[in-house]
């Protein structure tokens, strides 16, 4: 279970319903808001059929112990034929049916790397599930059940921007695998950022009891609408201490729209500018009463930001009238805008308020990424590299104006990993020759010179190493 600070545990979320008196009571739907406050039962009854448990597995081949290749030890242990050749990895989580035709939303970390998934419905049936789309940047994944042959109960997405701190909320999930469970709580905070849980950080914080095993569970309001997908907890023990985080429904809506359109990835609008946080010192130098907003530090040529007239030094304080507290808040607000339209940014420029209209266009993938995995024997063996484009730069959350060849993935245990290469490194030169494309790098890696001199760019710094 990944950690956040001392231990933030990714989980499937559920809010436990407090038990009422054991005496027999009349069961009826409350007829007023005041009566509704007396019991969550009507909301729970509406919610539970659409919340599912997810069981995911994958089989892994075990590595053969090298000692068994030695004839001496084989006298005692044989060839290892009696030892298990594979093991089964399992993941348990929760999910929410969000459309009648069987689309299920859950957390990406519940299904990441898994090859077989089954969904258990509230009526005890288990159905096979197919992965439709996964998005690591939001930690969301979309599954499909039923193959369109059945109509499923589904939750309607609410407007997470309409939430207020103190609102009552419920969550449903499968904590510790004990079975479907409901808990109640309030919205403790909104727009929680800088917690390392994803690229688009603007989480709903709740004090409802959330525990491991609940990842992907439903956070609902008292109208029974899905207003968040529970994702993580802050904990020093691994159990709930009343600090849980949920992905807002407005971000969930973006991922579902891409899945419903048949896309294999999430399409988001491209801004094309680098942003930095506003510190107390920067706020003072700009004449601000307090730190806030997202400060533009650079604008990529030809980007929507450049075309809208955004300039370095501009302070973005709102997107379509919704306040921006920090860089992460801007990223969330901008990413939840629909591609194809336009949005209005409120900006402070040299102390004066202005508005600019930015087109919401997808980032172009030019040049083509031409992704290649480097083989053979070189410092890059095991690295998957790609040509940088605005689309890939956006996808990997790199600086807006970067170009060149980037390390997109590194195989575990590979030569590239052992030599210290990292995902996001940009290869600038190999043996003093400029690397302009993945083909250049592949050609250089196959040259087998007497030594290797490699220059990479990492976090804006050039690093040269000799191997």
Domain boundaries, the chain: 1-265, 273-359, 372-466
Task: Indicate which residue of 9, 94, 109, 326 is catalytic.
Answer: 109
Helix or strand run (H / E) with residue 256: helix 249-260
Phi-psi category of 224—alpha, beta or left, where left has phi over 0 and alpha has psi -120 to 50? left
pLDDT at 36: 65
Using DSSP's 3-state secondary structure scheme, residue 431 falls into coil
Task: Indicate which residue of 91, 188, 215, 346 is catalytic.
Answer: 215
Residue whose pair of structure tokens reads 């607000």 in the numeric block = 333
Decide if domain 1-265 falls under CATH 2.40.10.120.
yes
User: Hey, which residues does 181 pair with through a beta bridge?
Assistant: 173
pLDDT at 202: 83
Catalytic residue list contains 139: yes
pLDDT at 19: 35
The span from the CA of 232 to the CA of 240, in Å, is 10
Angle at 177 (CA atoms; ends 179, 241), nearest 5 degrees: 100
pLDDT at 37: 66
The span from the CA of 105 to the CA of 96, in Å, is 5
**Could you give the angle at which helices 327-335 and 249-260 cross, rounded to 10 degrees?**
40
Residue whose pair of structure tokens reads 């040509």 in the numeric block = 387
* Residue 135, burial from CB neighbour count under 10 angstroms (0-12, 13-18, 19+): buried
Measured in whole angstroms, how far is the alpha carbon of residue 467 from the centre of its chain?
A: 36
pLDDT at 428: 96
pLDDT at 54: 92
The span from the CA of 59 to the CA of 54, in Å, is 17
Is residue 456 within 8 Å of 428, Cβ to Cβ?
yes
CATH topology of domain 273-359: Pdz3 Domain (2.30.42)
Does the CA dihedral 41-46-48-51 come out positive or negative? Answer: negative
pLDDT at 114: 86
The parts of the chain modelled with pLDDT lower than 50 are 1-25
Choices 3.40.50.300, 2.40.440.10, 3.40.50.720, 2.30.42.10: CATH for 372-466:
2.30.42.10
Q: Count CA atoms within 13 Å of residue 17 on its CB side.
A: 19
Topology match between the domains 1-265 and 372-466: no
Measured in whole angstroms, how far is the alpha carbon of residue 200 from the centre of its chain?
A: 7
């Amino acid at each position: 279970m990944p950690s956040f600070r001392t231990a933030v545990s990714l989980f499937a979320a559920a809010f436990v319903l407090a038990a009422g008196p054991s005496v027999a009571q009349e069961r009826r739907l409350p007829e007023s808001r005041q009566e509704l406050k007396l019991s969550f039962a009507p909301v729970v009854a509406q919610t539970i059929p659409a919340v599912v448990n997810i069981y995911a597995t994958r089989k892994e081949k075990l590595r053969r112990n090298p000692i068994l290749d030695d004839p001496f030890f084989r006298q005692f242990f044989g060839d290892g034929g009696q030892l298990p050749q594979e093991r089964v990895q399992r993941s348990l989580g929760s999910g929410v049916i969000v459309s009648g035709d069987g689309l299920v939303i859950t957390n990406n970390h519940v299904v990441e790397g898994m090859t077989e998934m089954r969904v258990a419905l509230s009526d005890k049936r288990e159905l096979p599930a197919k992965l439709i789309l996964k998005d690591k940047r939001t930690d969301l994944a979309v599954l499909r059940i039923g193959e369109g042959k059945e109509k499923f109960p589904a939750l309607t997405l609410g407007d997470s921007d309409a939430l207020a701190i103190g609102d009552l909320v419920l969550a449903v999930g499968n904590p510790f695998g004990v079975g479907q469970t409901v808990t109640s709580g309030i919205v403790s905070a909104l727009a929680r950022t800088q917690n390392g849980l994803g690229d688009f950080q603007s989480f709903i914080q709740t004090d409802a009891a959330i525990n491991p095993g609940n990842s992907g569970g439903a956070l609902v309001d008292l109208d029974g609408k899905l207003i968040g997908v529970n994702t993580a907890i802050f904990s020093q023990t691994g159990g709930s201490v009343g600090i849980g985080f949920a992905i807002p429904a407005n971000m969930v809506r973006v991922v579902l729209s891409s899945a419903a359109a048949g896309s294999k990835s999430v399409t988001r609008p491209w801004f094309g500018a680098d942003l930095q946080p506003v510190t107390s010192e920067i706020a003072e130098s700009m004449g601000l009463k307090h730190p806030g907003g997202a400060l533009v530090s650079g604008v990529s040529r030809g980007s929507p930001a450049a075309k809208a007239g955004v300039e370095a030094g501009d302070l973005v304080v709102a997107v379509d009238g919704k306040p921006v507290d920090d860089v992460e808040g801007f990223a969330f607000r901008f990413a939840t805008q629909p591609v194809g339209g336009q949005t209005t940014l409120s900006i402070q420029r040299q102390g004066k308020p202005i508005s600019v209209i930015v087109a919401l266009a997808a980032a172009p993938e030019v040049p083509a990424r031409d992704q290649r995995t480097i083989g053979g024997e070189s410092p890059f063996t095991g690295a998957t590299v790609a040509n940088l484009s605005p689309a890939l730069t956006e996808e990997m959350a790199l600086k807006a104006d970067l170009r060149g060849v980037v390390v997109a993935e590194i195989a575990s245990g590979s030569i590239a990993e052992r030599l210290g290469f990292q995902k996001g490194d940009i290869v600038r030169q190999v043996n003093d020759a400029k690397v302009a494309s993945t083909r250049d790098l592949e050609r250089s890696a196959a040259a087998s010179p007497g030594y290797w001199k490699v220059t990479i760019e990492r976090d804006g710094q050039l690093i040269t190493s000799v191997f």
